[in-house]
Amino acid sequence: MTCGWGGEAALDLQWTHAIAPFAKLVLVEAKSDALDDLFAAVQTAVSYIGTLGQGRGQISMSWGTDEWDSETTYDRYFPDGPIYFASSGDKGGVVIYPSASPRVVAVGGTSFTRDNTGQLVSITGWSGSGGGISRFETKPSFQNGVENLHGANRNVPDISADADPQSGVAVWLTTVCGGQQAGWQVIGGTSLASPMVAAMANISHHLRTSGTSESISIYGNRPAISTKQRIRDVVGGDPAGGNEALVGYDNVTGVGEPLGLHFDDDPATP
């Protein structure tokens, strides 16, 4: 539950700030939820980042639509420069766009279980995490040779973070949500996972690359081949559609979940 576009904006801004408090946050609003308007907003975000002179930054998109046969023509809206993150969706086993684009880091969902003292008990795949094999996007080179990856087309997601509403986060809303009055609400979904991973990218030395090199970096540091433990493999949980969280890559959690500040390329960092 994200309580509409207002809830999406509150969730993204508050939890990006919580993770990356010194990041400069800019909310770009589209005129409507029509695709052309949404991608016009993406262009605005890209142009704004370009005005900063570095051409780098993170753009998180907590929205998506069903795949369609000409979606690849929209990949042009993700030029090299910023790192693009998109929610994989909240319907297990379903692939949506723009997370299906190979120019975008697709972020799936995990579920946290804690005991009555708040201590972490387990992290598993979230049953609502969208993912699978794109019908129209061909497999990018950074997915070649990846364990458990199926077919000749793009697999989704790439990486994941907490998304289960049962282990969601507190968000302050100024509008009525779910029949309740404005105030604190607990919200989840991959709409939470995408901005959180974008925020981790902002504060991590290792993730300050740009364009598709970001996905290359993620797959190069997956637990199956890396000993630096920048990513935690996530296994188990209820199936997400027809997908299960397996050892190694899977269509629920991707390569796994980043280890926060430890997701760093600085050898001096523990």
43-52, 103-112, 216-225: least confident range: 216-225
Share of the chain above pLDDT 70, in %: 86
Query: In this predicted model, what pLDDT tens digit does every residue of 75-96 receive, in sequence order?
Result: 999 998 899 999 999 999 999 9
Answer yes or no: are the C-beta atoms of 266 and 141 closer than 8 Å. Answer: no
Q: What is the pLDDT of residue 228?
A: 65
Q: What is the pLDDT of residue 208?
A: 47
Class of domain 4-262: alpha beta
What's the mean per-residue pLDDT of the chain?
Answer: 87
Beta strands in 55-163 (DSSP E): 58-61, 65-66, 83-87, 96-97, 105-114, 120-125, 132-138, 153-156, 159-162
**What does the block give as tokens for 66?**
């069903």
Query: In this predicted model, what pLDDT tens digit does every residue of 5-15 receive, in sequence order?
Result: 788 899 999 99
Contacts of 168 (CB under 8 A, 6+ apart): 162, 186, 187, 188, 189, 192
The full set of domain ranges for the chain reads 4-262
Task: Count Cα neighbours of 269 within 13 Å in the Cβ-side half-sphere.
Answer: 14
**What does the block give as tokens for 81?**
């420069």
Q: What is the mean pLDDT of residues 49-78?
A: 90
Q: What is the pLDDT of residue 177?
A: 64
Q: What is the pLDDT of residue 1?
A: 47
Query: In this predicted model, what pLDDT tens digit does every residue of 138-184 receive, in sequence order?
Result: 999 999 999 999 889 999 999 999 999 999 898 998 876 666 667 88
Q: Is the dihedral of CA 257, 88, 76, 138 positive or negative?
A: positive
Give the pTM. Answer: 0.90
Answer yes or no: are the C-beta atoms of 215 and 142 closer than 8 Å. Answer: yes
b/e sequence 119-149, b meaning 16+ C-beta within 10 Å: eeeebbbbbbbbbbbbeebebbebbeebeeb
